[in-house]
Structure 1
């Protein structure tokens, strides 16, 4: 019997410097926005209203930043994380320009790091992924690292290369959309009066609301992004339960953060992130944010705020780590990002 199916790459299949062009470009439209807003309580005005976006200097309302991220990410799964044990973290993520309805997105990844784990059965692969549109323009890039199974535990380990990554992007590293202007920003339509100057470094915001993760919605969302990772669908692959896609948790927490951060409109930088503990259907996600830094920009009326977004399943606010320095068992997500806010 011959086979033409793709079993996915295993750890020993990756080589430092290898560039992988991912299959199946995806043209996005208004349907993606409608489904995204149906799956999550997403209400940021810039992504909900063409007229609001035009008043802020954009030609129309873009696709939500995280929806664009999920599309770019989903392209990479068959080549990077189909046989992953876990997605471990993110760094140096930058949204380089908005994605609009009608854009066609594709992805490519470069292997920038390899390290076999001491058990000899798995290894960590670091990749830098770039998403481009139909004109070949980069719309985003990010680094992530995943733990991947080995096909053969006896296969020789590659030379260890752990890339040096920035702990956080500086405001100068961020790319702001051309034409963006918050000088005439409508706080009433946006939903909250709080502007950049109202937030203080060190401030912790309890977003109050919670959403219980449903199996069907998670699977619909993961399919929407064409994410084929086995751990999200196949109970024989993970008998203790289908693992909720980490991006689903990110989007849910970001949507919940509207209550208290309604004017943190655009995500433009991803400094780091960890899926601290697994999430399963039936878990109720709540979220809180900490203001880590603030910076002015040269764009009219626009300030940048660095936020730490923590999603929990126990409702605990203000602390993500225990006395031993490890994540508390109720913490699902710890995400560090830059967003744009009116001055």
Structure 2
């Protein structure tokens, strides 16, 4: 079932529902240039064909998060066009790189529903899969979204909350076929730190901050063909403000993380993530990371780091990210747990 022109509302979903998302998209080299224009990204593998070839790939892919945004954007008209907010992620895996010339399509399955106590909105959980033109899965992930009801008198569905893994097991973290970092030259990145230089518990301040501009986040929303009304239509929110797409905050934080994690080349899996508070144009984003785990992958020269990436606005809160009741403190924008691949 696909959405109508008005999009689906909470009462239109049912557990097990299959959503086949419209408009396949062929990726071009323009995606890389636009991504670099939007974010201060400097990942060597995604900046240079020569670095990619030296690392066992045929050429430089598009950024892993750019592929994520494209697949995410495909799902928006059927999943979150009428969303209040995208809330979080789990069980994400980047199965294979996406190259210029690949055509991506997406589909989702509804795996959970829960009406909120106000009776006006509900939470929809979906598992989304992006495939290339060969029918190969390039990425899959779960996410949950708060969606408005069209009819406030519509009966609440039976509550089904999916049991999602707290983290992707390191044995299930995908490593691209042929990836080989044994010849990786840290002169390419300007940072000598490799896998063995990080340990569990390390906290890395990414130093710089970036102020979000209206023009940039609106361009990002259009680039990913994201049709969620709250991002581009000021009448969609009572305060008249356009909500910055959470993926824009994620990509900005990932780009800022180059300072301190310059040799982390690929995002391989998403363990969990939350968009803790809204972001608007004019907010200043800064970020820090905590090393949660270090692991071997079995691929030549390739190690894995499990990282918690936190983005805050206007310096954000000091100390604990949550209050005594477990709610995120004001100023926390993103709390993102992922596995990344780095030369050993």
TM bucket (normalised to shorter chain) is over 0.9
Q: Does 1:338 align with 2:332?
A: no
Cα RMSD (Å) of the superposition? 1.2
Look up the match of 2:191. 192
Q: How does 1:209-224 map to 2 (within 5 A)?
A: 209-224=208-223
Q: How does 1:48-127 map to 2 (within 5 A)?
A: 48-127=47-126
Instruction: Report how far residue 327 of structure 1 moved.
Output: 1.2
Quick one: distance in 2 between partners of 1:8 and 1:125?
14
Question: Would you say the 8 A contact 1:243–1:278 is kept in 2?
Answer: yes
Out of 117-126 and 222-231, give the one that drifted further.
117-126
Aligned CA distance change for structure 1 residues 124 and 5 (closer, same or farther; 3 Å): closer
Look up the match of 1:232. 231
Instruction: Report how far residue 77 of structure 1 moved.
Output: 0.6
Q: How does 1:128-167 map to 2 (within 5 A)?
A: 128-167=127-166
Look up the match of 1:289. 289
Q: Does 1:255 align with 2:270?
A: no
Instruction: Report how far residue 149 of structure 1 moved.
Output: 0.8
Look up the match of 1:327. 328
Quick one: distance in 1 between partners of 2:169 and 2:319?
25
Quick one: distance in 2 between partners of 1:318 and 1:62?
38
Unaligned runs of 5+ in 2: none
Per-residue CA deviations over 1:69-124 (Å, capped at 9, x if unaligned) read: 00000001110001111111100000000000000001000001111111111111
- Partner secondary structure for residue 235 of structure 2: coil
Per-residue CA deviations over 1:226-271 (Å, capped at 9, x if unaligned) read: 0011001111111421000000000000000000001111001000
Aligned CA distance change for structure 1 residues 282 and 70 (closer, same or farther; 3 Å): same
Give the length in aligned residue pairs: 340
Question: Would you say the 8 A contact 1:310–1:320 is kept in 2?
Answer: no
Quick one: distance in 1 between partners of 2:190 and 2:104?
31
Out of 41-50 and 153-162, give the one that drifted further.
153-162
Per-residue CA deviations over 1:177-236 (Å, capped at 9, x if unaligned) read: 000000011101122110001011011100000110000110001100000110011111
Per-residue CA deviations over 1:290-332 (Å, capped at 9, x if unaligned) read: 0001110110011100000000113246642234432120110
Quick one: distance in 1 between partners of 2:4 and 2:180?
49
Per-residue CA deviations over 1:152-190 (Å, capped at 9, x if unaligned) read: 111111111111000011111111100000001110112
Question: Would you say the 8 A contact 1:45–1:189 is kept in 2?
Answer: yes
Quick one: distance in 1 between partners of 2:102 and 2:153?
45
Instruction: Report how far residue 28 of structure 1 moved.
Output: 0.6
Quick one: distance in 1 between partners of 2:187 and 2:132?
34
| TM-score, normalization by structure 2 | 0.97
Quick one: distance in 1 between partners of 2:179 and 2:120?
49
- Partner secondary structure for residue 305 of structure 2: strand
| TM-score, normalization by structure 1 | 0.97
Out of 20-29 and 311-320, give the one that drifted further.
311-320
Q: Does 1:178 align with 2:177?
A: yes
Look up the match of 1:244. 244
Quick one: distance in 2 between partners of 1:141 and 1:106?
12
Unaligned runs of 5+ in 1: none
Look up the match of 1:311. 311
Instruction: Report how far residue 5 of structure 1 moved.
Output: 6.7
